[in-house]
């Protein structure tokens, strides 16, 4: 795909790691221990399908067990391979450490084209893959907890959860063996939207710091900002939807598998998503101009570029031509190490993947805790909270009436104030807090240690330091 040779994905992540550790005081031994991938399990299994045995290859890589369980999604895609799974597992270690979810890093993948199989066939394949991993404790509530990733979603997680339960009938915590489940299998409200929501919260926080905005040559708020999104999957769709519908940003182009559609007035993301679902691509979406060579649209002028699809899409071959002053990495690894150096040199601000897309694993953490507590968040306190609010409202109304003050609370204020936090509100609150505080920790390093130079390196410095502390406290 690229004209200029570049290191592999895993090597690219290692180079980013090394760029950060040069600013840290780690012993070479500890640095190496943190960097390397602990283990990668490869399994080849057969499933009888359409009258013959089909062999599939799957992986589960564990990058770091400094905390357990280890966490990370399972990807279904044809190009899944060991190098990629290991890179993604390493990113999970740094991501979890950065946002403070108490997990080590892992990732899984199955080399498969999910579109090539019927639902019942996919179920058989998924259950068989899960069986192989469960047998080896590579899916386990206390040891390794997968989640959705590219090509997988709630449906696959429900199959995996059920498979685990069948094989561990007396494990009272069986539901915590995987996250991203549908609600009726022990999922949590807000998990599906979580990664896209996290991207939105990350941008909100970035825009709260005029000094950071200025570094990107931007000013003002998100309203009217021109956004280009690559990938209208779960992450890209939700990010684009929230930014356009709630923040007034204009999504001027969406790049998909079959090309890109452009509308400078701003696309209706909901309508476009429905079009893509029905037609299998963006081509032909009314009222827009279509570009078959979608990747070229990454280079179009805009304020914010959101790669939300594959790794390596911004590479040495196109990095110099990227015009967006701000890139937020909703995908894992969309910018190669070589491209990152080019972008840094020309002053492009990159909000890095390990932070930008951490909303998914953050809400996975909430789901895992919910499963272990066996209770929905808010169940105990919601009505108590409402009763407290009601006391205040009634007291204000009494005061007003007794003293003839004629005060009247706005009905919408009253309604909102009297509504206690349900699970979704609590999940969003926890996610927002995580995205805000993590950004502040990153920017403190970015601004406080000029030699570090950029947000990505700052994120790595912060994350690696946390992992190192855990190792040291264990006496390593
Ligand atoms: N696959 C997602 C990621 O790359 C989510 C992982 C998780 O929730 O464990 O971060």
- pLDDT for 475: 79
- pLDDT for 54: 98
- pLDDT for 474: 86
- pLDDT for 4: 66
Q: What is the percent of the chain where pLDDT is above 70?
A: 99
332 CA: nearest ligand 1 atom = 4
Burial of 61-98, coded b for 16+ CB within 10 Å and e otherwise, reads bbbbbbbbbbbbbbbbbeebbeebbbbbbbbbbbbbbb
Antiparallel, parallel or unpaired: β 289-291 and 304-307: unpaired
User: Mind listing the pLDDT tens digit for each residue in 387-417?
Assistant: 999 999 999 999 999 999 999 999 999 999 9
User: Mind listing the pLDDT tens digit for each residue in 354-383?
Assistant: 999 999 999 999 999 999 999 999 999 999
Active-site annotation holds for 181: no
Whether the CA torsion 300, 306, 310, 315 is positive or negative: it is positive
Q: Rounded mean pLDDT of the chain?
A: 97
- pLDDT for 5: 86
Between CA 54 and CA 44 the distance in angstroms is 10
Which residues, given as ranges, of the chain have pLDDT below 50? 2
- pLDDT for 92: 98
pTM of the model: 0.96
**Active-site pick, 71, 107, 181, 225:** 107
User: Mind listing the pLDDT tens digit for each residue in 443-457?
Assistant: 999 999 999 999 999
Residue nearest to atom 7 of ligand 1 (CA): 361
- Residues with CB under 6 Å of ligand 1 are 71-73, 147, 149, 179, 332, 357, 360-361, 364
73 CA: nearest ligand 1 atom = 1
């Amino acid at each position: 795909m690229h004209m200029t040779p570049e290191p592999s994905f895993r090597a690219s992540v290692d180079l980013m790691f090394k760029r950060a550790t040069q600013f840290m005081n780690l012993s070479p031994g500890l640095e190496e221990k943190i960097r390397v991938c602990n283990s990668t399990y490869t399994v080849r299994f057969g499933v009888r399908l359409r009258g013959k045995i089909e062999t599939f290859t799957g992986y589960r890589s564990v990058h770091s067990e400094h905390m357990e369980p280890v966490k990370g999604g399972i990807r279904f895609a044809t190009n899944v391979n060991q190098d990629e799974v290991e890179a993604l597992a390493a990113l999970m270690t740094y991501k979890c450490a950065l946002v403070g979810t108490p997990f080590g890093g892992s990732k899984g993948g199955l080399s498969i084209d999910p579109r090539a199989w019927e639902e019942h066939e996919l179920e058989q394949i998924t259950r068989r893959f899960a069986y192989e991993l469960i047998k080896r404790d590579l899916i386990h509530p206390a040891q390794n907890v997968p989640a959705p990733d590219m090509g997988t979603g709630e449906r696959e997680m429900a199959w995996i959860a059920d498979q685990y339960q069948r094989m561990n009938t007396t494990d009272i915590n069986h539901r915590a063996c995987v996250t991203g489940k549908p609600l009726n299998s022990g999922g949590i409200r807000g998990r599906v939207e979580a990664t896209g929501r996290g991207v939105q919260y990350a941008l909100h926080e970035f825009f709260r710091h005029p000094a950071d905005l200025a570094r990107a040559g931007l000013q003002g708020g998100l309203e009217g900002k021109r956004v280009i999104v690559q990938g209208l999957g779960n992450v890209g769709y939700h990010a684009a939807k929230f930014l356009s519908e709630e923040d007034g940003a204009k999504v001027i182009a969406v790049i998909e598998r079959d090309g890109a559609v452009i509308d400078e007035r701003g696309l209706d993301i909901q309508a476009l998503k429905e079009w893509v679902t029905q037609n299998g691509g963006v081509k032909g979406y009314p009222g827009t101009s279509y570009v078959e060579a979608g990747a070229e649209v990454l280079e179009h002028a805009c304020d914010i570029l959101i790669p939300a699809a594959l790794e390596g899409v911004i590479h040495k071959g196109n990095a110099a031509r990227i015009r967006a002053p701000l890139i937020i990495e909703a995908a894992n690894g969309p910018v190669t190490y070589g491209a990152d150096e080019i972008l840094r040199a020309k002053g492009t601000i990159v909000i890095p993947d390990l932070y930008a897309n951490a909303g998914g694993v953050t809400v996975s953490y909430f789901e895992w805790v919910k499963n272990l507590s066996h209770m929905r968040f808010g169940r105990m306190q919601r009505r108590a909270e409402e009763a407290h609010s009601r006391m205040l409202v009634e007291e204000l109304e009494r005061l007003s009436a007794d003293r003839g003050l004629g005060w009247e609370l706005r009905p919408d204020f009253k309604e909102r104030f009297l509504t206690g936090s349900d699970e979704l509100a609590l999940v969003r609150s926890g996610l927002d807090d995580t995205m805000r505080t993590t950004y502040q920790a990153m920017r403190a390093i970015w601004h406080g240690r000029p030699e570090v130079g950029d947000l990505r390196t700052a994120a790595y410095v912060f994350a690696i330091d946390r992992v190192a502390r855990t190792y040291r406290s264990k006496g390593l």
